[in-house]
Structure 1
Amino acid sequence: MQVWTKLFAKSPFKPLIKHAEVVLEAVGTLEKALGAWDRGEYEKMREYARRVDDLEDFADRIKEEIRDSLSSKLFMPVNRGDILGYLEMQDKIADAAENTAKWLLVRDPNNIPEDIKDEVRTLIMTMSQESIKAAKLVYEAIVQMDRVIESGFGEKEIEREYEIIKEIESVEHKIDELDTRFMEIIFKNSAKMEWGLGMYLLNIAKTISNISDKAKDAAERIRLMMNK
């Protein structure tokens, strides 16, 4: 607890950066799991998926420690409630990654119709790559927020923060479009595949999409802090 309190004394965002590092590792490990999925290395896929679950648990523990250490007696340049609200959104990025990992553990992606297999895999991998980009941008955003505070809300630092937020929103929009395209393909070809496979694929895509949704939510929390 004392470690977090000391970090808060330096900056309200130092502990959030530590938490963001674990969140980023969880999303990066999920990307490795999906890469193994794409290559047909299903045992390796499951190993990475279980690692994502472990990292999400670790992120949760850090979140609770930060909450317990964030005393109302600490003087901070931003509202305690805003920090806790942001922390919750950042943690949900790891939750979303864990949800995808759980689906990877349910079954192997066998029997995808040959005529759509390449497009299905390409869309999943593109969404995965964009999701890790979103998580990296959230990490960059919270690091930049720390710089904003250290600069005394300097104009250039604030301007850069808004640029990062816009980048996150752009990535989220792109993934939404990919998810819509993915759903169109699955429903159009639903008669060719078993019900369970269709549900499995749709949930893989939806939970990946949720990573960028939560990244956007985290970015919006930063925007609110900037506007106060």
Structure 2
Amino acid sequence: MPNNSILGVFAKSPIKPLEKHIRIVCKCANKLPSFFDAVIAKDWEKATKLREEISQLEKDADVLKRQLRLELPGGLFMPVERADLLELLTQQDRIANKAKDIAGRSLGREIEIPALLQDDFKAYLTRCLDAIEKAGDAICELDDLLEAGFRGREVDLVEKMIHQLDEIEDDTDSMQVNLRSGLRKMEAELNPVEVMFLYQIIEWVGDLADLAERVGARLEILLAKN
């Protein structure tokens, strides 16, 4: 193989695009608090604008995902297995998809969050986004992990992040139970169809944290293989 071809393989690091992808995903999901502020205020014009921004960021993540899938090299010079990176990419992308789904369904139904649940819902959403941020922080350590040869304090740092991510996801599970319990107590006062969609939105917001935890789990598998 000519020297320039070998250098080309090394130069096309898959890590930077993966990190860029998770940053777009985080930016996409982080639009949701402002979106729900608009929903609660029944400012549907602002909610529509924010939903469009979320949708555009999801498309940006999708474009980068397809590009990375096409260009991700395979063979002897990959520092980690191609399949592992593709699985990480898939889990990351599902977060952006879910954020778009949440905004789309909430706007489409002009969902109303009962006043008594609004503070708990906002805290729940914030905690789910904490999980995504923590997953993003862990992914952005991949370059340093590679440089360290998956050894030493860098591995300890990422493993600590993954543990923190698991703890955050546990928090969101408890918060979801409390929210669902609060909603159940007021079901009789609400439109049954709206109640059904509220339960769905609560579940989908929780999915954000679940998907972030899956990113951490895939990263943990990658650590175990190196």
TM-score, normalised via structure 1 length:
0.89
Q: Could you tell me which runs of 5 or more consecutive residues in structure 1 were left unpaired when the two chains were aligned.
A: none
Residue matched to 2:81: 79
Aligned partner of 1:178 among 169, 175, 184: 175
Residue matched to 1:134: 131
Residue matched to 1:58: 60
Residue type of the alignment partner of 1:25: K
For 1:14-93, list aligned pairs within 5 A.
Answer: 14-73=16-75, 75-93=77-95
- The secondary structure found in structure 1 opposite 2:141 is helix
**Pairs aligned (count):** 219
Residues 126-183 of structure 1: CA deviation (Å, up to 9, x unaligned) = 1221122112111111111221111222311000001111111111111111111111
- The secondary structure found in structure 2 opposite 1:78 is coil
Residue type of the alignment partner of 1:158: V
Does the 8 Å contact 1:134/1:215 carry over to 2? yes
Does the 8 Å contact 2:132/2:209 carry over to 1? yes
Query: How far did residue 52 of structure 1 move?
Result: 1.0
Residues 173-199 of structure 1: CA deviation (Å, up to 9, x unaligned) = 111111111111222221111112102
- The secondary structure found in structure 1 opposite 2:78 is coil
Structure 2 residue 184 is matched with structure 1 residue 190: no
Distance 1:80 1:8 in 2: 14
Residue matched to 1:9: 11
Does the 8 Å contact 1:28/1:132 carry over to 2? yes
Identity between Structure 1 and Structure 2 (%): 27
Distance 1:103 1:214 in 2: 19
TM-score, normalised via structure 2 length:
0.89
Q: Could you tell me which runs of 5 or more consecutive residues in structure 2 were left unpaired when the two chains were aligned.
A: 1-6
Following superposition, which runs of at least 4 residues in structure 1 exceed 4 angstroms of deviation? 5-8
Query: How far did residue 118 of structure 1 move?
Result: 3.5
Aligned-residue Cα RMSD (Å) equals 2.0
Does the 8 Å contact 1:138/1:215 carry over to 2? yes
Structure 2 residue 132 is matched with structure 1 residue 143: no
- The secondary structure found in structure 1 opposite 2:74 is coil
Does the 8 Å contact 1:100/1:207 carry over to 2? yes
Residue type of the alignment partner of 1:53: S
Aligned partner of 1:119 among 112, 116, 120: 116
Structure 2 residue 157 is matched with structure 1 residue 160: yes
Does the 8 Å contact 2:9/2:77 carry over to 1? no
Does the 8 Å contact 1:23/1:59 carry over to 2? yes
71-80 or 11-20, which moves further after superposition? 71-80
